[in-house]
Amino acid sequence: MSRPHEDLEHHTLTDHRDGGPAIALASASWWAIEVAHVAAGRAAAAVAAYETLIEKARTSAAAGREAVVLRSHDHRRVIVLLRLDGHEAFRHLRAAWDDHHLLAQRHAVAESRSLALYRLAVSGDPTIDPASSDALAFEHIRSGAEPAAGISAPLAAAPGFRSAFVFHTDDDGGSAIVYRFAHVEQIEAFRKSPDLSVVHAVRTFDLRAG
């Protein structure tokens, strides 16, 4: 049964059921990524708020295309990936999300958040499917840390490897990686990092449809 949520201020009707279509992430595409560190017990509220913001991007100047909402297994992180046309669309998105923003000030949902624009490089199978039994993990690599290229190079030979989505900022401000392996244990054996979060694909969107 549908669980629609209406944002009364912006009149956006959003269906908050988990799932969504399998989507393919294309190399060289632009993606906005927001990472929210959420207060205990507030992950579901953060996911719902982001889903509403993503639906608004369907018809806004930000012109969102595909999107993925990830939630960490410990429910302390919500990560949003939204494909955009580039810098101008990102500027509109940042303004819209900052204006609306849901998070620390209004609803005490998030403890902190960061939003940046990245260019994507894909290794392996380019799809993310909420129905898949594969394991996912997310790592945010800050500027000055180990280069993402050094991490991604040996991935193809790692046991259980399915794909890696490596996102780079164009100002060398950092990188983000979404790992996809057959099993969680294989990700954790490959990559031991305090910034690694095992995540679940709560929802995917194809904003070009409908």
| Strand (E) or helix (H) holding 178 | strand 174-181
Residue 5 has pLDDT above 80, yes or no: no
Interval 127-173: pLDDT, tens: 999 999 999 999 988 765 566 767 877 898 999 999 999 999 877 67
Strand partners of residue 161: 181
Residue 16 has pLDDT above 70, yes or no: no
Pairing of strands 77-84, 66-72: antiparallel
| CA pair distance 90, 94, nearest whole angstrom | 6
Over residues 52-75, mean pLDDT? 85
| CA pair distance 147, 175, nearest whole angstrom | 8
Residue 2 has pLDDT above 50, yes or no: no
pTM value? 0.86
Determine the Cα angle at 127 with ends 125 and 133, to 5°. 95
Tokens standing for residue 189? 């054996």
Residue 70's closest CA among 193, 179, 207, 158?
179
- Asked whether 100 and 10 are in contact (CB, 8 A), the reply is yes
Looking at domain 4-19+28-204, does it have CATH number 3.30.70.100? Answer: yes
Question: Using the 8-state DSSP alphabet, how is residue 30 labeled?
Answer: E
Please report, rounded to a whole number, the percentage of residues in the chain having pLDDT higher than 90. Answer: 50
Q: In the chain, what are the domain boundaries? A: 4-19+28-204
Strand partners of residue 36: 78, 113
